[in-house]
Structure 1
Amino acid sequence: MTHPRSSNLAIAALVLFAMALLLFGTLGGDAPASEFVGHVYMQTNETQNRIMHFGREADGRLELIESVPTGGAGSGVFKPISGQESAPNAFEGAGSVILAESNTLLFATNGGDNSVTSFRVGADGKLAMIDRQMTGEPVAGRSGTAKSLAYRPQSRTLYVLHAFGPNHLRSYTVAKDGKLKLRPERNSVDTATKTDRVSTQAVLSPDGRFLLVDILFDARPAANPDGSPNLVVANAPDRDGLVVFPVREDGTLDKPSFTDAGGAGPFYITFLHRSHDTFLNGVAVGDGVLASRIDGKGQVTNGPLVQIDTSFGKPSELCWLQVTSDNSVVLATNFGYGTVSTYRLVEGQLSLLQDPANKAIPGDGTFRAVNKLVSSGPSDSWLTPDDQYFHQIFGNASVLVSYRLDKTSGKLTEIGRNKIPYNSPEGLAGF
């Protein structure tokens, strides 16, 4: 028989336990969002797409806070660009998750059904869905290809890029409450003779005057009779792999110009911090990075392409880039190698710093890159604003890896891993 005093103590303990659950969640769960120094967001690109929201601790490690549905569909493990049943980097793109309006809004593509979702970002970093609207481009086959976003605050215009055309670019007007209204404009990156180009990423110049789009392929990938990929790489030999759209005051796009991207298979553009005209371009088949400048008329001048070591096999598929806040170090992700290389940038001149800067992350052995090497298929990345920590998706390894960056040496030291869905994830943004 239980003693009355013991019963009272047990009841009091249960009350305290219940209060703790209300305040902090279930035992063993995630810490309150307010305890973190920052936040990182990644979309899973699962067939029922969602945003994984990680809290960033002071030591650079990440902890999952919440997983929020977008209301839209991803492509899952299916890769619509190539038709592969299961492969990382589904859309051959970047910028599918972005923050805007002083980190109070988050936008994410849903490539599976060609839609975009907007979220309100709370003071604690938590997400509340606002709206989801279709891009206006029909889905042909198993998946759409909406994949890259760019936001112009001057006109509250959100641009969404599709890998496949003919209407590669559509846009929305973003209301102050975050709701999306599809605009009627349709823009293409095709030329008179290249009518089925595959784009990668859309980026606005910091002054909002130009929208730049990299083109990876001049035609959709196909298969040769022996099963090997038949790839018509852009900017080789025709030097027209970078498309520049002048932007009008109301956000509409003017007639584009087609210019030299500086290397074969241009993939990723990032402007230097505090610069309105100087940007870097990572070229996937050219295996390197170059610095370029765009003038007030939209004309582009390219510096030399600085390649990484490709003795392992070509192409390295060097794609995603991050730049430190002082523009001194560039981090370049090599999709075909499962590694990251770092560059030193001094007065506009690039030189290799660490190649590679990390130990290659192995995948599950099922995925081979274009160079025939088994790869873990790293894709999108994000560097913290203080330049201390670098986060990298390795889709075929099902991990988001966190590193500490040594800016002097350019080396990356792994400090943590977070489990993510297999093959499908893409897009990283944070603050």
Structure 2
Amino acid sequence: MLLFGTLGIEACASDLVGHVYVQTNETQNRIMHFGRNADGQLKLLESIPTGGAGSGVFKPISGQKSAPNTFEGAGSVILAESNTLLFTTNGGDNSVTSFRVGPDGKLTVIDRQPTGDPVIGRSGTAKSLAYRPQSRTLYVLHAFGPDHLRSYTVAEDGKLKLRPERASVNTATKTDRVSTQAVLSPDGRFLLVDILFDARPAVNPDGSPNLVVANAPDPDGLVIFPVRDNGALGEASFANAGGAGPFYIAFLNRRRDTFLNGFAVGDGVLVSRINGEGRVTDGPLAPIDTALGKPSELCWLQVASDDSLVLATNFGYGTVSTYRLEEGRLSLLQDPANDAIPGDGTFRAVNGLVSSGPSDSWLTPDDQYFYQIFGNAQVLISYHLNKTSGRLTEIGRNPIPYNSTQGLAGF
């Protein structure tokens, strides 16, 4: 089928204003490379094998045979070094692939290296990436530990060398925590990790999920690692994330000490600040409307270039909500900002609702266009964003693999 084969460029480079990349996370993992036109429309240009394995439709965290958001995480595809390098996780075999990004956006595989964590069972759980240019260090986060974090040194040619260091987000009493995302502070001094569950998900006798949600009530759902000059991580500290089930961290563009956190069970977003010693203070949680059922599984966030607007993806509802951010305070703008996208009817979220399972998203640097994965609907949807109203207007759709697709990055 053409969609999943290696494709040639279908549009002239002069027609394109940017590029968007998504990993299929299929058992033979690929990066789908889309060209972006000035009107926000996407065209699939090529589909390049990573050389590694994804988890496919299987969800290793929950053990579901087929479900969207298979990683339960974010940041599995990232760009670095002024958009000349692209990195992606291969969650199925716990490896990372590096690509060279050409002037025309085309990808060339450079290297693939294991994370050093053995795969136990049907799939690995390598999920989130963060790159520190000061020391050319690439961090890879796994859902399961004990070695949640491993790292590579990235050579100038993009090749990866696994470093010996390893780190855990477990505590003395919580020895099987499930992490979602790793994010570096803009100055590269701290690595922040959100914890979704304090224990691996299980199933109750009646078939309902048994979830031990992090930061509820113990205020330790945010893990902060100091970063040394050479990229090595210091001893972790454990902080109050500010809500239940912290999932996604996004630093503001104009305030380097300020970040947002989205809460899968807390059903909202809050503003936090980190000082020079790595201590975090939290503002109040700004919830969305949860009349449809709890939790909403609000997870992924995108921030406008001027920090005035925040887009939050609700996995359980199949929608996106928008917030206004003024003087460090969040207020709901559109809830939801788009029409709910139906899936194929086979997947239910934790709240029991049939959901299309939206996951990763990306906002263009000019704040005009927003792209959202809907895994259970097999579609990547393009939206025009009205920054004044916060409303999203659908402008296009591109097919993507069923349930497995994860990760969005672009320029």
TM-score computed with the length of structure 2 as normaliser: 0.98
Q: Equivalences for 1:244-263 in 2 at 5 Å? A: 244-263=224-243
The CA distance in 2 between the partners of 1:284 and 1:46, in whole Å, is: 25
Q: 2:218 aligns with which of 232, 238, 262?
A: 238
Is 1:415 the counterpart of 2:359 in the alignment? no
As a proportion of its length, which structure holds more helix?
1
Give the deviation of 1:34 after TM superposition.
Answer: 4.3
Is 1:208 the counterpart of 2:165 in the alignment? no
The CA distance in 1 between the partners of 2:116 and 2:304, in whole Å, is: 37
Corresponding residue for residue 69 of structure 1 = 49
The CA distance in 1 between the partners of 2:10 and 2:391, in whole Å, is: 30
Q: Equivalences for 1:268-283 in 2 at 5 Å? A: 268-283=248-263
The CA distance in 1 between the partners of 2:127 and 2:20, in whole Å, is: 18
Q: 1:359 aligns with which of 315, 339, 345?
A: 339
Corresponding residue for residue 11 of structure 1 = none
Corresponding residue for residue 310 of structure 1 = 290
Q: Which consecutive residues of structure 1, in runs of 5 or more, have no partner in the other structure? A: 1-24
Give the deviation of 1:276 after TM superposition.
Answer: 1.8
Q: 2:116 corresponds to which letter in structure 1?
A: G
Corresponding residue for residue 4 of structure 2 = none
Asked whether the equivalents of residues 292 and 301 of structure 1 are also in contact (C-alpha less than 8 Å), the reply is yes
Aligned-partner SS, 1:360: coil
Give the deviation of 1:271 after TM superposition.
Answer: 0.3
Q: 1:360 corresponds to which letter in structure 2?
A: A
- Deviation string for 1:164-203 (max 9, x for gaps)? 0000000000000000000000100000000000000000
Corresponding residue for residue 90 of structure 1 = 70
Corresponding residue for residue 191 of structure 1 = 171
TM-score computed with the length of structure 1 as normaliser: 0.93
Q: 1:353 corresponds to which letter in structure 2?
A: L
Q: 1:222 corresponds to which letter in structure 2?
A: A
Q: 1:62 corresponds to which letter in structure 2?
A: L
The CA distance in 2 between the partners of 1:129 and 1:32, in whole Å, is: 22
Q: 2:373 aligns with which of 357, 369, 393?
A: 393
| Aligned residue pair count | 405
Aligned-partner SS, 1:144: coil
Give the deviation of 1:91 after TM superposition.
Answer: 1.2
Cα RMSD between the aligned structures? Answer: 0.9
Q: Equivalences for 1:16-415 in 2 at 5 Å? A: 30-415=10-395
Give the deviation of 1:274 after TM superposition.
Answer: 2.8
Q: 1:241 corresponds to which letter in structure 2?
A: G
- Deviation string for 1:121-148 (max 9, x for gaps)? 0000000000000000000000000000
Asked whether the equivalents of residues 34 and 124 of structure 1 are also in contact (C-alpha less than 8 Å), the reply is no
Asked whether the equivalents of residues 78 and 88 of structure 2 are also in contact (C-alpha less than 8 Å), the reply is yes
The CA distance in 2 between the partners of 1:33 and 1:315, in whole Å, is: 44
Aligned-partner SS, 1:396: helix
Aligned-partner SS, 1:254: coil
Q: 1:424 aligns with which of 365, 379, 404?
A: 404
Q: Which consecutive residues of structure 2, in runs of 5 or more, have no partner in the other structure? A: 1-6
Identity fraction in percent: 83
Runs of 4+ in 1 over 2 A off after TM superposition: 32-35
Q: 1:108 corresponds to which letter in structure 2?
A: T
